[in-house]
Chains A and B, each alone.
Chain A
């Protein structure tokens, strides 16, 4: 490092505060719902190399610290003082933008004619055009349906607003005034950043500030390496699945192989499915991109909570992500709901890292973020409200139960008070609480999911619930700990007729309908039969575990109810003697076990490898066809409902045949076979 340690500490403090002041300016000047309520925005300072050297802590979106401005800056060509770049294009910005609703601005900061840093700001805007209001829908098949793509262009040229660009943006949004407000708030934040940076340069000189960018990143990288050196060296693999791709019932596979060597990590996503014709793709550009490294950042920051946030955090992380896969999608793949895939990448990484850091990593969290949205039509148009952003709990780990009903794994959103929700829209919230018996059983119990149940009080309403996942494959447990309960969505009519609903895009509701969403529980850790009776009793008394589940899952017999509940020690001894605890590093749940019974790791690897030998446009359709044909031979609802051995054998034989045929076809097309 170039600077003396005292100077570096002082400049480092000032630059981090600069980034936080940018956020405060943005927050103060913005009127956007996404800024005020859900905090879906951020600002930061980058060095001349385009990497973030100072990133805010405790304000804004924390996960984007590893993003890189370089591609967006290079795309616009030479810059001059007073320029501001705008983009939302995940492909042409090199992955800086991650879906089209995130509008990004970059402003170069000059001193004596040379760039001494870049300010960056983004806000999730309300609408950027496309097929549906709010622009985001899981069933969008390509990015053209998701709204206006803005390649990196100058929004401001040498201090002069580019009115042509602004006009183009405004014409392509359903909420142009709101977007204009967002742009103004970001421009104000970038001005603040410039003023504060000039003040730091005035005190410390531009040479020290330039050196500080590099030193700060290097300092954090050293701390990240020191944290990673505490992991067990080796190579670890884990795979997890999205339930389906929203357009077909075929699950989407995410595979990661983590190699830990000394103080660095390599993540190899080979074995992940080809990109899908739905909005679940991540445009990572094959780099250690924010949405495929979130769990790694969380691990580093858990091991070293006070490491300054900047690009140095991911410096020790290398990535191999096959081009055209769901984790390194190519244009024009749709990316709107990439956070659902990021949740599953999180789980895949968590599963692999658990093998390298068994005492640190928890079992799978509930792994979903579902903004439950109700839209009602009325004379003046429509009223759209998020009732609650539904999450679940966190996974258990060695030494600690998971957290019930809260999970900040992907984003740390605030919920909405029931009392304000009911003044905004025609619903009565009947229950908003923890979901009993949903957390995976274990020596340490997984966090409970949530239950939201509401009655619709007006006709002509619609339900949206993007991000609904874990309806099929459960959050896994560890070291004998059970998997969490899968999510459920049930709609009951006023007459009491219930229907279980799967992943939805938009669902029409009638007055009197009761909608109940139960989010998945998180995974447990360790043999539940080793959980002390007193802790099981405590859960029964508090009501998060029922007496039935205490007996079935924990082998603990509880008599009486509420405050009068007590453990029947003899009954417990009998139950525990009779039970056979689960085992294995990961407990995946019956649905995943059934699925793996059809489509084991080797078969999946073969099919995916063969698909990647086909021309890119053919892969998704072929995968859906091959697996769809196998599913057609199995009962409806498989793997949530079991199949007989004979059915499974038949489907598996057909699948293996199809895989072999595909391999031949791929070889032929590559000229290996006649």
Chain B
């Protein structure tokens, strides 16, 4: 085991104990987090340094260490759920497989043109994103459907042989097949793919409509291409993982977390790795939403503040919001994913004075290496973390439970340099600059959070903030004050929440099929038959997941509907899809009118309606990982120490508490600092903090 590894255990009495210890793993750039939920309730968590050259190694090591610390063996673990960013990084860094693309004649430049937009409208040097398939590996074939799925042109054998020869000549490892309007006749595209595959048996081919049959050729092509692009890398990783875990005598099924906040079997993830690319952040959001719901809070903004940036996501009514317009590596992704948005600075974001005399935070980051100046690893530029140190929010001796000592003097020196740069005379103290930088960072995050909610017409005051990540709990109250949030729930294991989220993630898969035709009795029948078909696929998929669901399976139907002539579609929920026989044209129309009225205040009953994409999500809960419980409070709250902390330009004397010494029911008032071994919680003046029975910390503003 590596010397840098850190292990801690939290125990307590849980209700409804699971069958055995379960493992949750999140592979990050710096650390691989392992969480075990224990049969007696409670969790054990472990941070293992990541091994980027062979990421599965850190997983195996971390699992060994975590189980050993809990007095268990890896073989005792009953299931393992696991998220990884390997696929995402391969796409962003364009390190995936050498793939080719077969398209309808005339549409070779589908990826070159994209949606025609440039990343910036005001940059004469802007370049477009690098396509996943260069033009010379895009091959046209004489296959074409019309918008109704009618075959306009079907390639003869000679054309197919030519295409196959060109495909072989590209030396591609895999290829995607895209026929215009392929989503309207998936069988046609599948058949064409099979005909080609017979000619080039050594190149795996995938039909775009089989991966994701949604209208819009560029976006559908990207889903198929991204899937092919990351598949070899992901399969290689899964092979290695299985090999190492088998070596540890692990026989438990392995689940991979998905971008939609759910999880899927290893076999499913091998076939459809594209579903996993944004799984890390999604698992954190679903874990936060779940623990908030257990604590009685359903409307939540999650706030994940890590080293390089901060992310937020919105959960309304207990369900995280989804997006179908994410961007990865400069390309749109239309699969439904938990909507996570970056809002600005992380702990490693650099603080500087620009050439024109203003103090700035970010967007540059010192990251984890070299990291903040105070880490003493060669960082030369002060960061947000250095500012926490200089304002007294964190103590150099208690960082990460005292396992890492920080150099406060170096941080202060660098911030004093900024003070001189800012006013020329150095009248301001390093402390004032640090406080100013934190206020700037906070204002920057606050305006982004506000915009995220404004986009949906929501008011921050109605939400609870759930912070996690290393710096989330430290910055949460500052951000909440700025946006008018008065309630914060700090999870017991804020720094390893993504791994915890993996353990309890539902089995979930999304399905879609575009129809795009006017609503009438005939198209309503088509909606019902598509839903029947998707439900059958969903059940069959679920059956292949190994039967690990615990609890009733939900089939959630929805459709993208619009008034004819309106460009913008509304996603309309259609309830459970077990029996869609009630869904006639009138019911579909009413569903659109109701949603339109909710959003825009009126219904356009005279207008014709168009049915766009029909969607279905299958959700099957897995066994509840069980909640943490905190020991009941014994005795009064006694601060360990007092120290001066600068908040909003004022120096205040703050009580310092150890989180481990606080029991359920303990309550204290700010200004205070609560130190836990993976983070520090700032309770500013005007706020109170109370330990909930679940072990989570609830902060409330008295204003």
Which A residues form the contact surface with B (CB < 8 A)? Answer: 1, 5-6, 8-10, 13-14, 16-17, 20-21, 24-25, 27-29, 31, 33, 36-37, 62-63, 192, 219, 222-223, 226, 297-299, 301-302, 305, 360-362, 388-389, 391, 394, 397, 400, 403-408, 411-415, 417-420, 422-423, 428-434, 450, 453, 541-544, 562-564
**Known interface pairs A25-B454, A63-B121, A360-B125; 6 further A-B residue pairs with C-beta atoms within 8 A, sorted by A's residue number:** A28-B454, A29-B600, A223-B356, A305-B123, A422-B147, A543-B135
Contact assessment for A412 and B117 in the assembled complex, using a CB-CB cutoff below 8 Å: yes
Nearest-Cβ distance from residue B428 to partner chain A, whole angstroms: 9
Which of B124, B146, B180, B423 is the most central at the interface, judged by chain A CB atoms within 10 Å of its CB?
Answer: B124
Contact of A5 among B135, B357, B450, B451 (CB under 8 A): B357
Given A403-B128, A563-B136, A564-B169, check contact A418 B122 (CB 8 Å).
no
Chain A residues whose C-beta falls within 8 Å of the C-beta of B147 in the assembled complex: 419, 422-423
CA distance A21 to B107 in the complex (A): 38
Contacts of B455 in A (CB 8 A): 24, 27-28
Interface pick from B2-10, B185-193, B437-445, B492-500: B437-445
Closest Cβ of chain B: how far from A224's Cβ, in Å? 11
**Is A28 a contact of B126 with CB atoms below 8 Å?**
no
Asked whether A62 and B439 contact (CB < 8 A) given A5-B422, A414-B116, the answer is no
Selected contact of B217 from candidates A5, A13, A419, A433, CB within 8 Å: A419
CA gap between A406 and B517 in the complex, in Å: 31
* Alpha-carbon distance between A325 and B432 when the two chains are bound, in angstroms: 56
Q: Once the chains are docked, how many angstroms separate the CA of A20 from the CA of B457?
A: 14
**Which of B355, B422, B599 lies in contact with A226, CB distance below 8 A?**
B355
B365 to chain A, nearest CB (A): 15
Asked whether A420 and B107 contact (CB < 8 A) given A14-B447, A36-B567, the answer is: no
Minimum CB distance partner of B152 in chain A = A428
B359 at the A/B interface (Cβ < 8 Å)? yes
| B489 part of interface (Cβ distance < 8 Å) | no
Contact of A9 among B217, B440, B454, B566 (CB under 8 A): B440
B122 near A542: Cβ-Cβ < 8 Å = no
Within the complex, the shortest CB–CB distance from A38 to chain B, in Å, comes to 9
B-to-A contact residues, CB < 8 Å = 106-109, 112-118, 120-128, 134-136, 146-147, 152, 166, 169-171, 180-181, 183, 215-219, 353, 355-360, 422-423, 436, 439-440, 443-444, 447-448, 450-451, 454-457, 516-517, 566-568, 599-600
Contact in complex: B112, A404 (CB < 8 Å): yes
List residues of chain B with CB within 8 A of the CB of A562. 136, 166, 169
**Known A-B contacts A13-B447, A417-B216; A403 and B118 likewise in contact (beta carbons under 8 Å):** yes
Q: A62-B121, A429-B106, A543-B136 are in contact. Are A31 and B439 (CB under 8 A)?
A: no
Query: Within the complex, what minimum Cβ distance (angstroms) separates A547 from chain B?
Result: 14
Q: Which residues of B contact A31 (CB under 8 A)?
A: 566, 568, 600
From known contacts A29-B600, A429-B106, infer whether A450 and B113 are also in contact, taking CB-CB under 8 Å.
Answer: yes
Q: Which residues of A contact B218 (CB under 8 A)?
A: 417
Shortest Cβ gap from A40 to chain B (Å): 13
Q: Is the pair B116, A413 in contact by a Cβ cutoff of 8 Å?
A: yes
Partner of B180, one of A361, A394, A418, A564: A418
A240 CA to B444 CA in the complex, in Å? 44
Q: Which B residues are in CB contact (< 8 Å) with A453?
A: 106
CB proximity of B500 to chain A, nearest CB, Å:
33
User: Are A299 and B215 in touch, CB under 8 angstroms?
Assistant: no
In the docked arrangement, what's the CA distance between A428 and B105, Å? 12
Inter-chain contacts of B106 with A (CB < 8 A):
429-433, 453
- For the complex, what is the distance from the CA of A1 to the CA of B357, rounded to whole Å? 10
> A99 vs B535: C-alpha distance in the bound complex, in angstroms?
52
- B456: A residues at CB distance < 8 A: 28
CB distance from A20 to the nearest CB of B (A): 6
A21 touching B451, Cβ below 8 Å: yes
Question: Could you jot down 16 A-B contacts, CB within 8 Å?
Answer: A13-B447, A14-B447, A17-B448, A20-B451, A302-B123, A302-B124, A360-B125, A391-B116, A403-B126, A405-B112, A405-B116, A406-B114, A417-B219, A428-B152, A432-B107, A433-B106
The docked-state distance in angstroms from the alpha carbon of A113 to that of B491 is: 48
CA distance A428 to B153 in the complex (A): 12
**Which one of A17, A219, A407 lies within 8 Å of B356 (CB-CB)?**
A219
Q: Shortest CB–CB separation between residue B563 and chain A, in angstroms?
A: 8
B357: chain A residues at CB < 8 Å are 1, 5
CA distance A422 to B443 in the complex (A): 47
- Do A222 and B356 contact each other (CB < 8 Å), given the known contacts A29-B600, A419-B217? yes
Contacts of A423 in B (CB 8 A): 147, 215, 516-517
> Closest chain A residue to B116 by CB distance?
A415
In the assembled complex, the Cα of A542 lies from the Cα of B122 at a distance in Å of 28
Residues of chain A within 8 A of B439, CB atoms compared:
6, 10
In the complex, the chain B residue whose C-beta lies closest to that of A302 is B124
A19 CB, min distance to chain B CBs, angstroms: 11
**Chain B residues with CB below 8 A from A222, complex form:** 356
Q: Report A-chain residues with C-beta under 8 Å of the C-beta of B115.
A: 414-415
B215 & A417 in contact (Cβ 8 Å cutoff) = yes
Q: A13-B447, A422-B147 are in contact. Are A36 and B568 (CB under 8 A)?
A: yes
**A243 to B301 CA separation, bound complex (whole angstroms):** 55
Q: Which B residues touch A412, using CB under 8 A?
A: 117-118, 121
Shortest Cβ gap from B232 to chain A (Å): 21
- Chain A nearest Cβ from B31, distance in angstroms: 31
Check if B116 sits within 8 Å of A434, measured CB to CB: no
Q: Which residues in A have their C-beta under 8 angstroms from that of B136?
A: 541-543, 562-563
Q: Are B440 and A13 in contact (CB under 8 A)?
A: yes
Q: B30: shortest Cβ distance to chain A, in Å?
A: 28
- Partner of B181 from the list A8, A406, A419 (CB cut-off 8 Å) is A419
Query: Chain A residues with Cβ under 8 A from B568's Cβ?
Result: 31, 36
- Output the least CB separation between B205 and chain A (Å): 18
Contact A302 B122 (CB under 8 A): yes
Contact residues in A for B444 (Cβ distance below 8 Å): 13
Q: B117 contacts which chain A residues (CB < 8 A)?
A: 406, 408, 412-414
Contact A434 B356 (CB under 8 A): no
Contact B358 A8 (CB under 8 A): yes
Q: Establish whether residues B123 and A24, one from each chain, have CB atoms under 8 Å apart when the complex forms.
A: no
Q: How far is the CA of A10 from the CA of B361 in the complex (A)?
A: 11
* Residues A301 and B122 in contact in the complex (CB < 8 Å), given A414-B115, A543-B136, A562-B169: yes
B443 touches A13 (CB 8 A): yes
A414 to B118, CA, bound (A): 9
Shortest distance between the CB of A123 and any CB in chain B (Å): 14
B283 to chain A, nearest CB (A): 28
- Complex interface: chain B residues within 8 A of A63 (CB): 121
Chain B residues positioned under 8 Å from A408 (CB to CB):
117-118, 120-121, 126
| B112 proximity list for chain A (CB < 8 A) | 404-405, 433-434
Q: Which B residues lie within 8 Å of A25 (CB)?
A: 454
CB-defined contacts of B122 to chain A, threshold 8 Å: 62, 297-298, 301-302
A405 to B135, CA, bound (A): 13
Alpha-carbon gap, A453 to B106, bound state (A): 9
The chain B residue with its CB closest to the CB of A31 is: B566
Query: Given known contacts A6-B436, A24-B455, A429-B106, is B121 in contact with A563 (CB within 8 Å)?
Result: no
CB distance from B483 to the nearest CB of A (A): 10
CA–CA, A433 and B109, complex, Å: 5
- A192 engages B135 (CB within 8 Å): no
A228 CB, min distance to chain B CBs, angstroms: 14
Closest beta carbon of chain B to A545's beta carbon, Å: 11
Residue among B124, B356, B359, B423 making CB contact with A361, cutoff 8 Å: B124
From A17, which residue of chain B is reached at the shortest CB distance?
A: B447
A202, chain B: closest CB distance, angstroms: 11
**How far is B112's CA from A404's CA once the two chains are assembled, in angstroms?**
8
Please name all residues of chain A whose beta carbon is closer than 8 Å to the beta carbon of B440 when the two chains form the complex: 6, 9-10, 13
- A24-B135 contact given A429-B106, A432-B106, CB 8 Å threshold: no
Contact A544 B135 (CB under 8 A): yes
Closest to B115 in A: A414
Inside 8 A of A400's CB, which chain B residues have their CB?
125, 127
Q: Closest residue to A350 on the B side, CB-wise?
A: B124
- Check B121–A397 contact: CB distance below 8 A: no
Task: Please measure, in the bound complex, the distance between the C-alpha atom of A429 and the C-alpha atom of B136, giving whole angstroms.
Answer: 22
